[in-house]
């Protein structure tokens, strides 16, 4: 990626969330699926819509609109699940991103991608790599690794315990990892 | 990285296995020094390690093992007696070879060589006079020289990886008349590499009038694993090529183990009349299967030995072998089933072309049967005898008991019991911990034992067996046992039981597994390591197993571990709540009941079952399942750790064998899901981890009750 | 080559010694035939074999077949000589099913 940044242009997949236009580095995208039934996983934040079967594996699906606070992706003919590969530590992990629609693949001059504004954008600044312009439209270029980072998901999962009956249960403090015990 | 010779990885792997065998052999010699077969086996292992060391550039191993081998050879020939000192020294040598093997090459060479020299100096005492000088202190020697001097084969080594050649020699009947003898030719070939020979084909009966004592009969099929070139092999047969049939084919580039060569050669048994082409095809098919089977494993080894040519890395810890030995029979059936699969596929294509629905249905039936078998066989590939781990414990107990000044007889039974490789790997540490416990705290010192009328030598038994779809591992000792009054005092001090409680024996034993039951200075824990039995328990539970402790004061203690055979498949019932689908593992299932709901449902209520009130949990409420609360619900009764809990669901779909797919790491906080499974229709079910779920519900309830109504609670 | 017959534990032992090569193959066959005819549970002593070629190994194998035909296994008296074992090992005779027990304990490389 660093290399691309130095030389000319990069290719992006554009997708819509509500009225906003977003872009994802095409190299992160593995495939694009039509909407299928998502298996709900209880006690997860609402934007974690659940898992879908992608060739025999249960792949988590994130509702990007909810994640960004832009409402909720409703099922329409245009709804798509974009399967992305993200790096977590050293391992490659596969996640699905639920989007209202997927538009096109386009090329952006790297030097035309500006750093994100500190505030005022539709989405939290640290999810955004930059803002690009295509024709007369602005695109928010997503930082895929950040958007799907599991820390992010974990943190929010604790805040977002939706159960009305009890307070979120504090996780018993991990004493010491088992591996360390056995060294 | 990609140009690293994978055969090095295989050498590392084979040597690791040989070292394991060596250690087992040495330990057995300790109790039975007269076992000449063991001595031989130890010698052979050392010999093979040395030869391979030279061949694959492990010069230091080759140099070091030379004298050790000589000493073992003297023991073998009866020149030296087996003594405890010699065995200890050889065990130390074994450890050292492992260090040399695992050490990144070209790093800390001097240090390792010094370590070698210290041991060699000790071995020198066992060498015949005057020969002790072979292993010159290595530091003076140019490192590169050692390898060529020690090249074990009588040909200039080729660059590049060694190859495996198939040689077929069909000597002419009159070969001896020209002054040639197949035995001599084969003896010459034997000097050129690792050779396996199959002699087959006709031979007349002794009293057959056709028997010509001066004729040569039969066919020799040889597999030669060698760094030498094909030409140098062919040169052996240069004088007989005119009359006799000689064919030489390279069937593989790289190394295979001796045992692999044996297997390959065995496929040619009875093929003495087969044409060269047919036999070659047969061999190549088996080589391909073999290579495919070890390919994945090889990559792992390769990755680990990666730093050998790159930048020096930190010295790696000896790791569990990443490769898997697979029974040849299982592999064969797998290969033949893949063949069947190919046939089915072509049948399916024909049926589809002809739009013949009946034929398709037939294929579907056959495919179902095949898939079932294939799954069983594939899972069987991961099954390993647990004995591989047991043998390491023999050494552990030996060393540990010596350092503790205790005498112990360690008995391992049921080592042939097969268990999923993952389970075995992950059980090792908990077992080590339990063994150390027994040794350290269970067994008394000899004087104390004698004073109590016990034999001075303690006894620890480790056993494994199959029982009702589980593997049961028991560790038992005849030590001082666990003093429950002490356990009780500690448990109260630490607030694990109420001061006025009257806990049963079982509850007290359970306390030992609780986090917070202090680990140091208590009755049955290894002091100073900060390890709690709760960790052991958690490790075992993570494998979907259970652990129990029993003890009779003064007579010993006994830990019983039950484990599932495999982690890859779980037998359970599929249940539905609203649109959610869950799998309840059969291991936890005790039955089904029903209930009618007419008022507001709480998350936890109670239900009568066989005259007792059991807590029941509404999964619908617990999981906030959207949709209407039905009036009639099924209750799935489960039992974990002696506790019965019911879970209310909408419908019970039926029994199902679920192949477990782990859930993405981002859900790792959901401990009560042990995984997911993909159903036949492509939908996904969540597999419940019942003990974790019960724990989760209980802690929620406790949190809630602290604030509100104390009347409803899960029975503890 | 020298052939000696003696009895051990009620069984006939045929001791084969010296140079067991093609020149003596016919004589060896005669000796073996006669011995098997005398006692089908024949025991061989090959500790004195100084040289062995393919004819020797073939005759031993054929004898083993013959003994097996009457339901027995060819067994050995005394150790296997170095010459015999190395000839048998490099040519695969140690691995021939009828001879594995005959050569066992000695049939190793190293």
CA distance A173 to B608: 36
Domain stops at, among B101, B121, B149: B149
Out of B47, B206, B216, whose CB is closest to C110? Answer: B47
Q: What is the CATH number of the domain that holds C82?
A: 3.30.750.24
**Alpha carbons within 13 A on the beta-carbon side of C14:** 25
Q: Please give the pLDDT value at position B311.
A: 36
pLDDT band at B61 (very low <50, low <70, confident <90, very high): confident
Out of B538, B663, B670, whose CB is closest to A43? Answer: B670
Question: Of B29-38, B250-259, B668-677, C57-66, where does mean pLDDT reach its minimum?
Answer: B250-259
Q: Please give the pLDDT value at position B139.
A: 37
Q: Please give the pLDDT value at position B642.
A: 73
Structural domain boundaries enclosing B335: 328-381
Q: Cβ A178–B535 below 8 Å, yes or no?
A: yes
Mean pLDDT score of chain B: 79
Cβ-based burial of A168 (10 A; exposed 0-12, middle 13-18, buried ≥19): middle
Q: Please give the pLDDT value at position A61.
A: 94
C-beta separation of A61 from A96 below 8 A: yes
Structural domain boundaries enclosing C86: 2-103
Q: Check contact A-B (3+ Cβ pairs < 8 Å).
A: yes
Q: What is the CATH number of the domain that holds B476?
A: 3.30.565.10
Q: Is the pLDDT of residue C108 over 70?
A: no
Q: Is the pLDDT of residue B148 over 80?
A: no
Greater confidence, A32 or B119? A32
Chosen for mutation from A60, A169, A174 (greatest number of chain B CBs closer than 10 Å) is A169
The verdict on residue C110 lying in a domain is no
The verdict on residue C69 lying in a domain is yes
Q: Please give the pLDDT value at position A161.
A: 42
Residues B429 and B549 reside in one and the same domain: yes
Total number of domains constituting chain C: 1
Residues B168 and B140 reside in one and the same domain: no
CA distance C69 to C100: 17
Nearest CA-CA distance, residue C96 and chain B, Å: 7
CA distance A36 to B222: 58
- Closest by CA to B254, choosing from B536, B10, B575, is B10
Q: Please give the pLDDT value at position B57.
A: 75
Nearest CA-CA distance, residue A109 and chain B, Å: 34
Q: Please give the pLDDT value at position B529.
A: 42
Hey, is the C-beta of A53 within 8 angstroms of any chain B C-beta?
yes
Chosen for mutation from C56, C83, C90 (greatest number of chain B CBs closer than 10 Å) is C90
Q: Is the pLDDT of residue B128 over 60?
A: yes
Size of interface B-C (CB pairs under 8 A): 91
Residues B16 and B48 reside in one and the same domain: yes
CA distance C11 to C76: 11
Hey, is the C-beta of B197 within 8 angstroms of any chain C C-beta?
yes
The verdict on residue C51 lying in a domain is yes
Hey, is the C-beta of B498 within 8 angstroms of any chain C C-beta?
no
The pLDDT tens digits of the residues spanning B506-560 come to 888 888 887 767 544 444 334 434 456 777 888 887 787 888 888 888 888 999 9
CA distance A113 to A106: 13
CA distance B664 to B667: 6
- Per-residue pLDDT, averaged over B680-708, amounts to 85
Q: Please give the pLDDT value at position B142.
A: 36
- Closest by CA to A143, choosing from A164, A163, A121, A159, is A121
Residues of chain A where predicted confidence (pLDDT) is lower than 50: 1-6, 155-183
The verdict on residue C83 lying in a domain is yes
Residues B518 and B414 reside in one and the same domain: yes
CA distance B258 to B48: 10
Q: Please give the pLDDT value at position C97.
A: 83
The verdict on residue B507 lying in a domain is yes
Total number of domains constituting chain B: 5
Q: Please give the pLDDT value at position B441.
A: 82
From chain B, the residues in CB contact with A163 under 8 A are 624
Residues B144 and B185 reside in one and the same domain: no
Residues B588 and B551 reside in one and the same domain: no
Residues B431 and B373 reside in one and the same domain: no
The pLDDT tens digits of the residues spanning B96-111 come to 898 888 877 656 677 7
Residues B196 and B120 reside in one and the same domain: no
- Nearest-CA residue of chain C relative to B169? C91
Q: What is the CATH number of the domain that holds B220?
A: 3.30.70.260
Out of B198, B204, B207, whose CB is closest to C92? Answer: B198
C-beta separation of B222 from B236 below 8 A: no
Q: Cβ B187–C57 below 8 Å, yes or no?
A: no
Q: pLDDT over 90 for what percent of chain B?
A: 11
Q: Are strands B470-477 and B418-420 parallel, antiparallel or unpaired?
A: unpaired
The verdict on residue B347 lying in a domain is yes
Q: pLDDT over 70 for what percent of chain C?
A: 95
The verdict on residue B313 lying in a domain is no
The verdict on residue B586 lying in a domain is yes
Q: Cβ A166–B700 below 8 Å, yes or no?
A: yes
In B255-356, which residue ranges form alpha helices assigned H by DSSP? 258-266, 276-305, 328-353
Q: pLDDT over 70 for what percent of chain B?
A: 85
User: CB count, 10 Å around CB of B447?
Assistant: 10
User: CB count, 10 Å around CB of B337?
Assistant: 16
Mean pLDDT score of chain C: 86
CA distance B51 to B49: 6
Hey, is the C-beta of B667 within 8 angstroms of any chain C C-beta?
no
**Alpha carbons within 13 A on the beta-carbon side of B408:** 35
C-beta separation of B196 from B269 below 8 A: no
CA distance B305 to B6: 9
Q: Is the pLDDT of residue C25 over 60?
A: yes
- Per-residue pLDDT, averaged over B569-587, amounts to 89
- Closest by CA to B398, choosing from B93, B84, B39, is B84
Q: What is the CATH number of the domain that holds B683?
A: 2.30.30.40
Residues B288 and B412 reside in one and the same domain: no
In B513-636, which residue ranges form alpha helices assigned H by DSSP? 533-542, 619-622
Please give the DSSP secondary-structure letter assigned to residue A120: -
Q: Is the pLDDT of residue B567 over 80?
A: no
Q: Please give the pLDDT value at position B593.
A: 92
The pLDDT tens digits of the residues spanning C26-84 come to 999 999 999 988 888 889 999 999 999 999 999 999 998 888 888 788 888 888 888 89
Residues B574 and B518 reside in one and the same domain: no
Query: Counting runs of H as helices and runs of E as strands, what totals does chain A give?
Result: 5, 10
- Per-residue pLDDT, averaged over B49-53, amounts to 80
**List of residues 6+ apart from B474 with CB closer than 8 A:** B461, B462, B463, B464, B558, B559, B560, B561
Q: Please give the pLDDT value at position B158.
A: 56
Question: Of A105-114, A165-174, B205-214, B440-449, where does mean pLDDT reach its minimum?
Answer: A165-174
Hey, is the C-beta of C67 within 8 angstroms of any chain B C-beta?
no
Hey, is the C-beta of C59 within 8 angstroms of any chain B C-beta?
yes
The verdict on residue C42 lying in a domain is yes
Question: Of B132-146, B246-260, B468-482, C66-80, where does mean pLDDT reach its minimum?
Answer: B132-146
Domain stops at, among B84, B117, B149: B149
Q: Cβ B704–A48 below 8 Å, yes or no?
A: no
- Per-residue pLDDT, averaged over B114-126, amounts to 83
The verdict on residue B315 lying in a domain is no
From chain C, the residues in CB contact with B218 under 8 A are 58
Domains with residue ranges and CATH for chain A: 2-166 (2.40.50.180)
Size of interface A-B (CB pairs under 8 A): 96
C-beta separation of B101 from B16 below 8 A: yes
Distances (CA, A) of B501 to A136, B261, B328, B491, B517: 76, 66, 58, 11, 17
The pLDDT tens digits of the residues spanning B377-415 come to 887 787 788 887 887 788 888 888 887 888 888 888 888
Residues B453 and B506 reside in one and the same domain: yes
Q: Is the pLDDT of residue B565 over 60?
A: yes
The pLDDT tens digits of the residues spanning B635-693 come to 999 987 778 999 999 999 988 888 888 788 788 788 888 889 988 788 899 999 888 89
The pLDDT tens digits of the residues spanning B188-203 come to 888 888 888 999 888 8
Report phi then psi at B680, rounded to 5: -55, -35
The verdict on residue B465 lying in a domain is yes
From chain A, the residues in CB contact with B515 under 8 A are 175
Q: Please give the pLDDT value at position B473.
A: 92
Hey, is the C-beta of A92 within 8 angstroms of any chain B C-beta?
no
Q: Please give the pLDDT value at position B74.
A: 84
- Per-residue pLDDT, averaged over B132-144, amounts to 40
Residues B686 and B646 reside in one and the same domain: yes
């Amino acid at each position: 990626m660093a290399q691309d940044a130095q030389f000319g242009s990069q290719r992006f997949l554009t997708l819509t969330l509500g009225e906003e236009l977003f872009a994802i580095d095409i190299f992160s995208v593995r495939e694009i699926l039509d909407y299928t039934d998502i298996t709900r996983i209880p006690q997860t934040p609402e934007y974690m819509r659940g898992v879908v079967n992608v060739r025999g594996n249960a792949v988590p699906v994130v509702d990007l609109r909810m994640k960004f606070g832009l409402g909720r992706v409703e099922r329409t003919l245009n709804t798509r699940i974009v399967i992305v590969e993200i790096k977590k530590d050293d391992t490659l992990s596969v996640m699905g991103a639920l989007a209202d629609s997927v538009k096109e693949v386009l090329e952006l001059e790297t030097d035309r991608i500006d750093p994100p504004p500190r505030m005022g954008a539709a989405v939290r600044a640290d999810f955004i790599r930059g803002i690009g312009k295509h024709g007369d439209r602005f695109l928010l270029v997503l930082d895929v690794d950040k958007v799907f980072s599991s820390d992010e998901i974990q943190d929010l999962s604790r805040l977002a315990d939706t159960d009305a009956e009890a307070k979120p249960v504090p996780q018993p403090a991990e004493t010491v990892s088992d591996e360390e015990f056995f060294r | 990285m990609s140009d690293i010779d994978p055969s090095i990885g295989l050498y590392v792997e084979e040597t690791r296995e040989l070292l394991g065998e060596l250690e087992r052999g040495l330990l057995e010699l300790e109790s039975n020094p007269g076992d000449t077969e063991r001595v031989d086996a130890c010698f052979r292992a050392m010999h093979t390690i040395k030869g391979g060391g030279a061949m694959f550039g492990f010069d230091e191993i080759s140099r070091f093992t030379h004298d050790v081998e000589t000493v073992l050879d003297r023991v073998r020939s009866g020149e030296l007696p087996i003594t405890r000192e010699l065995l200890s020294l050889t065990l130390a040598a074994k450890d050292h070879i492992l260090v040399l093997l695992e050490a990144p090459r070209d790093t800390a060479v001097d240090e390792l060589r010094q370590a070698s020299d210290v041991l060699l100096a000790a071995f020198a005492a066992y060498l015949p006079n005057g020969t002790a000088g072979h292993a010159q202190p290595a530091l003076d020697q140019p490192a590169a020289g050692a390898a060529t001097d020690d090249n074990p084969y009588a040909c200039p080594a080729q660059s590049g990886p060694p190859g495996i050649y198939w040689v077929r020699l069909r000597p002419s009947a009159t070969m001896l008349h020209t002054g040639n003898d197949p035995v001599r030719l084969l003896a010459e070939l034997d000097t050129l590499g690792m050779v396996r020979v199959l002699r087959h084909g006709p031979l007349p009966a002794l009293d057959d009038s056709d028997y010509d004592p001066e004729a040569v009969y039969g066919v020799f099929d040889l597999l030669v694993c060698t760094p030498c070139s094909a030409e140098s092999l062919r040169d052996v047969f240069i004088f007989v090529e005119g009359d006799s049939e000689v064919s030489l084919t390279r069937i593989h580039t790289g190394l295979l183990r001796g045992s692999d060569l044996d297997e390959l050669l065995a496929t040619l048994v009875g093929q003495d009349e087969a044409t060269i082409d047919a036999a070659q095809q047969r061999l190549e098919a088996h080589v391909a299967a073999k290579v495919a089977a070890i390919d994945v494993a090889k990559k792992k080894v390769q990755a680990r030995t990666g730093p050998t040519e790159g930048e020096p890395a930190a010295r790696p810890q000896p790791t569990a072998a990443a490769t898997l030995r697979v029974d040849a029979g299982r592999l064969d059936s797998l290969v033949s089933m893949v063949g069947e699969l190919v046939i089915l596929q072509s049948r399916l294509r024909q049926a589809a072309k002809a739009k013949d629905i009946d034929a398709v249905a037939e294929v579907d039936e056959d495919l179902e049967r095949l898939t079932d078998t294939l799954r069983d066989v594939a899972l069987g590939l991961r099954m390993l005898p647990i004995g591989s781990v047991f043998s390491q414990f023999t050494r552990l107990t030996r060393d540990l008991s010596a350092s503790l000044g205790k005498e112990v007889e360690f008995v391992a039974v049921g080592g042939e019991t097969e268990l999923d490789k993952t389970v075995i790997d992950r059980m090792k540490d908990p077992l080590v911990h339990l063994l150390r416990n027994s040794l350290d705290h269970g067994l008394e010192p000899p004087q104390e034992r004698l004073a109590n009328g016990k034999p001075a030598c303690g006894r620890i038994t480790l056993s494994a067996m199959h029982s009702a779809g589980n593997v049961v591992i028991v560790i038992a000792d005849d030590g001082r046992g666990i003093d429950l009054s002490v356990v009780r005092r500690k448990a109260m001090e630490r607030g694990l039981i109420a001061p006025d409680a009257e806990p049963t024996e079982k509850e007290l034993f359970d306390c030992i597994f609780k986090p917070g039951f202090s680990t140091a200075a208590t009755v049955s824990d290894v002091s100073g390591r900060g390890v709690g039995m709760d960790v052991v328990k958690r490790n075992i539970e993570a494998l979907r197993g259970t652990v129990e402790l029993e003890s009779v004061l003064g007579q010993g203690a006994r830990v019983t571990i039950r484990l599932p055979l495999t982690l890859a498949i779980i037998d359970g019932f599929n249940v539905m709540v609203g649109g959610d689908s869950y799998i309840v593992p059969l291991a936890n299932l005790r039955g089904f009941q029903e209930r009618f709901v007419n008022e507001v449902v709480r998350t936890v209520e109670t239900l009568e079952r066989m005259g007792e009130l059991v807590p029941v949990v509404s999964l619908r409420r617990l999981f906030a399942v959207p949709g209407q609360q039905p009036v009639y619900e099924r209750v799935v009764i489960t039992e974990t750790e002696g506790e019965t809990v019911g879970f209310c669901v909408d419908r019970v779909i039926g029994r199902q064998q679920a192949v477990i797919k782990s859930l993405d790491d981002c859900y790792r906080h959901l401990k009560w899901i042990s995984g997911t499974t993909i159903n036949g229709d492509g939908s996904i079910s969540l597999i419940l981890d019942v003990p974790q779920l019960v724990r989760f519900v209980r802690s929620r309830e406790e949190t809630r009750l602290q604030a509100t109504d104390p009347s409803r609670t899960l029975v503890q | 080559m020298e052939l000696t017959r003696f009895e051990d534990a009620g069984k006939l032992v045929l001791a084969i010694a010296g140079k067991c090569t093609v020149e003596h193959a016919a004589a060896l066959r005669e000796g073996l035939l006669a011995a098997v005819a005398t006692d089908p549970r024949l025991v061989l002593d090959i500790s004195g074999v100084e040289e062995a070629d393919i004819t020797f190994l073939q005759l031993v194998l054929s004898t083993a077949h013959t003994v097996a035909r009457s339901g027995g296994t060819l067994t050995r008296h005394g150790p296997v000589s170095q010459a015999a074992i190395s000839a048998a090992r490099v040519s695969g005779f140690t691995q021939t099913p009828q001879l594995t027990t005959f050569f066992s304990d000695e049939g190793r490389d190293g």
